[in-house]
């Protein structure tokens, strides 16, 4: 299965072979549980419920980044942060700051 993403494309090699799908407006993010809006970007993740039912669920780009890079930037449960979208947006802001300092475009 190809990686599925939605919204405006961003600079990431992982999207080179990914399939762009319509923005799942009105569905809730897998991580932060906020509703996805037409302006959002992110991934559609396959998940498995306890009863074995498979689902496709959207996840905001910043929420996905927070899961890995939150530790790099100290915005994680280890340092007292939670899993809200605001915290995920902070991680994206810090990443973009670093990208700009390196002469790269922000995501």
Separation of first and last alpha carbons in the chain:
24
Q: What is the mean pLDDT of residues 80-106?
A: 94
Whether 28 maps to a domain, the answer reads yes
Model confidence at 1, pLDDT cuts 50, 70, 90, reads: low
- Determine the pLDDT at residue 52: 86
Whether 74 maps to a domain, the answer reads yes
Q: How many domains does the chain have?
A: 1
Find the domain containing 58 and state its range.
4-101
Whether 107 maps to a domain, the answer reads no
> Is residue 84 over pLDDT 70?
yes
Whether 70 maps to a domain, the answer reads yes
């Amino acid at each position: 299965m190809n990686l599925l993403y939605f919204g405006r494309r961003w600079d990431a090699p992982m999207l080179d072979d990914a399939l762009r799908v319509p923005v799942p407006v009105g569905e809730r993010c897998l991580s932060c549980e906020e509703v996805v809006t037409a302006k959002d970007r992110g991934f559609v993740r396959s998940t498995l419920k306890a009863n074995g039912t498979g689902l496709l669920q959207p996840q905001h780009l910043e929420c996905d980044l927070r899961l890995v890079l939150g530790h790099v930037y100290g915005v994680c449960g280890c340092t007292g942060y939670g899993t809200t979208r605001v915290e995920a947006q902070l991680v994206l802001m810090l990443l973009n700051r670093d990208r700009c300092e390196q002469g790269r475009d922000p995501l």
